[in-house]
Amino acid sequence: MQSNRLLSCLGIWIISIIGVVQCVSKYNCGNNEVLSNNEVQYVYNQALPIINQKSMQGIPLSDIKYTGNLCGLPEPIYHWFVKFSRDNYSQVVMSHFLLISADGELQGVISTGWKMELGQEDTWCGEA
């Protein structure tokens, strides 16, 4: 009986590891905007050393602390700009940000609402 339970747990563990290792190729955001994984990874690689260095030195990160409408996130959580979306008149209509936890873990990619400021009507960009 114990060997069956062990095999069952092992199977669940292997499936969860496969899910974690699976690569995200792109993020679908509002306004039909698609961010590539390369784009997200590039920005993340720029942000992480700065966040880590300031955290280790005790420098406040209040200017990048996320205090928006999304909840259930680790505290503190930081936002890092990725890019703007523009309309046909080259007006900025949405902004896209990474959310990164204090321990450097990428929590996801978010998009502001249409012509909204960060934190007002943010939504998650879905992994595709």
Q: Give the domains, in start order, of the chain with CATH numbers.
A: 24-127 (3.10.450)
Give the mean pLDDT of 112-121.
Answer: 95
The overall average pLDDT reported for the chain is: 84
The whole model's pTM is what?
0.78
Cα dihedral 28→29→31→35 (10° resolution): -70
Return the higher-pLDDT residue of 13 and 106: 106
Question: Quick check: 40 pLDDT over 80?
Answer: yes
CA distance 65 to 60: 9
List Cα–Cα distances, 18 to 11, 23, 38, in angstroms.
11, 10, 21
Q: Of the candidates 61, 46, 44, 57, which has an alpha carbon nearest to the alpha carbon of residue 102?
A: 61
